[in-house]
Amino acid sequence: MSEVRVLASVSSTNDVAKEAARHGAREGLVVVAETQTAGRGRHGRQWTSPAGNLFLSVLLRPRDPAVLSLLPLAAGVAVAEAIEAQGVDGQLKWPNDVLVGERKIAGLLAEASTDAGRVDSVVLGVGVNVNLRASDVPAEIAGVTASLFEETGRTHDVRTVAAAVLDRWVLWYDALQADAETVRRTWRARSVDWWGQAVEVVSGGQRVTGLARDIDASGALILEGADGATVKVLSGEARALRPTRTS
């Protein structure tokens, strides 16, 4: 890490890191905030951001554009390993969530900025529910949200969790640039057990369904349709489809 900025409250750590990137900040800048007033997940969704949880962003300037689509997968592995050290076994949901059972404990958001048609920088945001209580979140999502506190019954030091995430991230970012297949394989081994099951992905306003078969070298999800043909899905919101009960 080239620099770590610890702030009390920001709109979002991704916003701060992107602004720093526009002013020439070096790769490896880390922005950590105690709270966020406008934290967000994918598709602009709000990310609940009370104090006592982890909100950080890392500024990246990848040399190889081929690794861009794999950044969330590498980050997912890093976060899963970091929370495992805190006693919680997380599984990875394509493309960028960390789950405990069916509840979300961490999310990732990679936002790229371009210059003259090429990717100039990527800001990787990481949110981990560390000491989140059910009373901290809106009632409609309380049942699908997990935290280290809720899983272990004890409070956790946010700085310790942040250090663990960054330590694992450095390792997996280096691995991604040296041997991307290792990242893909490790992510697959830690993923939710959807393989061979029916999955629906909402992508770009379209719904794609099929049996989840694998992720390819670029991190795309491979689905098998009813006709046996495979479809590659590059991004989207995925969920497992429950079998329809018949009377």
What does the pLDDT look like over 156-180, one tens digit per residue? 999 999 999 999 999 999 999 999 9
- In CATH terms, the superfamily for domain 3-189 is Bira Bifunctional Protein; Domain 2 (3.30.930.10)
| 103, two tokens | 């509840």
| pLDDT averaged over every residue in the chain | 91
Per-residue DSSP letters for 130-166?
SS--GGGS-HHHHTTB--HHHHHSS---HHHHHHHHH
pLDDT at 141: 80
Which has the closest alpha carbon to 233: 182, 216, 189? 216
H and E: helices and strands count for the chain: 6, 12
pLDDT at 38: 77
Q: How many CB atoms lie within 10 A of CB 85?
A: 13
Q: Where are the beta strands (DSSP E) in 37-81?
A: 54-60
Report pLDDT digits (tens) over 172-223.
999 999 999 999 999 999 999 999 999 999 987 889 999 999 999 999 999 9
Which has the closest alpha carbon to 148: 102, 101, 84? 84
> What are the residue boundaries of the structural domains of the chain, listed by start?
3-189, 198-240
Q: Is the pLDDT of residue 247 over 50?
A: no
Of 36-50, 160-174, 222-236, least confident by mean pLDDT is 36-50
Which has the closest alpha carbon to 112: 103, 125, 121, 99? 121
pLDDT at 117: 79
Which has the closest alpha carbon to 104: 135, 142, 66, 70? 142
198-240 maps to which CATH number?
A: 2.30.30.100
